[in-house]
Structure 1
Amino acid sequence: MPREFYLLLHLVGVFLMLGGVFGALIYGKLKPGGQKSAERKILMAAHGIGLLAVFVAGFGLIARLGVGFPTWVLIKILIWLGLGYIISPAVKGKFNHNVIFVITLLLAATAAFFGIYKPF
């Protein structure tokens, strides 16, 4: 597949993943305790599908670049794991939503930095 396909899939996955997290923050604020509902299922599904798309497309892009696994790729995998976890406290409303919001933005910005500049 062409590089542009993987890049588009990667970006769509990022939008779904972050949309799921930010939606979960709102949901957790409105319904603390993480009661199960149709809205929660949609948010969790969007987040999970986004994570899968980011993972598959990210490895497709790495294969297209032919760089192996430099340090910036490993850092992005750790960030991916962090973004995968962060929806749990967000949807349950157990932590300060402002802190989760800032952490999510910082993780996403850091991942973008490493993806664009590939410093090491």
Structure 2
Amino acid sequence: MPYTFYKVLHLVGIFLFFLSLGGIALFTINGGKKTTNTWRAKVAITHGIATLLVLIGGFGLAAKLYGTTWPMWLYPKILIWFVFAGVLGAAYRSKAIAQSLWIALPVLGLIASLLAIYKPF
């Protein structure tokens, strides 16, 4: 597949990550509970698809650009995206956690973006 295919796949996955995680965080911040969320399954599916698209797109891009020898900046970026993949359940736990995620997730997204753009190490 061409480089642009993987890049678009990766970006669509990122958009879906923020859509699903932001939606759950806002739902919880406004007092919603996991058991009362009628869109719970749809959000979980969206989050799962996002995880798949980000990983396929990201690893496809890494393979296209670097082959089997990855630069060091890629490892913290992968770690950040694994945090995104695992944080869905935490957003439901409490209003305080959801409020923290509302701030922390965009900051982590910014760090991941800066790593990809500037490739600092």
Pairwise CA RMSD of aligned residues? 1.7
User: Bigger shift: 26-35 or 103-112?
Assistant: 26-35
CA deviation digits over 1:63-97, x for unaligned, max 9? Answer: 11025222211101110111112221213335343
Once residues 18 and 86 of structure 2 are traced to their aligned partners in structure 1, the CA distance between those partners, rounded to angstroms, is 12
Partner of 2:65: 65
Once residues 99 and 30 of structure 2 are traced to their aligned partners in structure 1, the CA distance between those partners, rounded to angstroms, is 14
Once residues 20 and 11 of structure 1 are traced to their aligned partners in structure 2, the CA distance between those partners, rounded to angstroms, is 14
- Aligned AA (1:118): K
Alignment of 1:100 with 2:101, yes or no, is yes
User: Bigger shift: 51-60 or 80-89?
Assistant: 80-89
Alignment of 1:41 with 2:41, yes or no, is yes
TM (normalized to structure 2)? 0.88
Task: Kindly report structure 1 stretches of 4+ aligned residues shifted beyond 4 Å.
Answer: none
Once residues 26 and 40 of structure 1 are traced to their aligned partners in structure 2, the CA distance between those partners, rounded to angstroms, is 13
Partner of 2:86: 85
Once residues 101 and 37 of structure 1 are traced to their aligned partners in structure 2, the CA distance between those partners, rounded to angstroms, is 18
Unpaired segments ≥5 residues, structure 1: none
CA deviation digits over 1:33-62, x for unaligned, max 9? Answer: 411644011111111111110001100000
Once residues 79 and 66 of structure 2 are traced to their aligned partners in structure 1, the CA distance between those partners, rounded to angstroms, is 20
What is the total number of aligned residue pairs between the two structures? Answer: 120
Percentage of identical aligned residues: 33
Once residues 36 and 82 of structure 2 are traced to their aligned partners in structure 1, the CA distance between those partners, rounded to angstroms, is 23
Unpaired segments ≥5 residues, structure 2: none
TM (normalized to structure 1)? 0.89
Partner of 1:28: 28
Partner of 2:13: 13
Equivalent residue of 1:71, what SS? coil
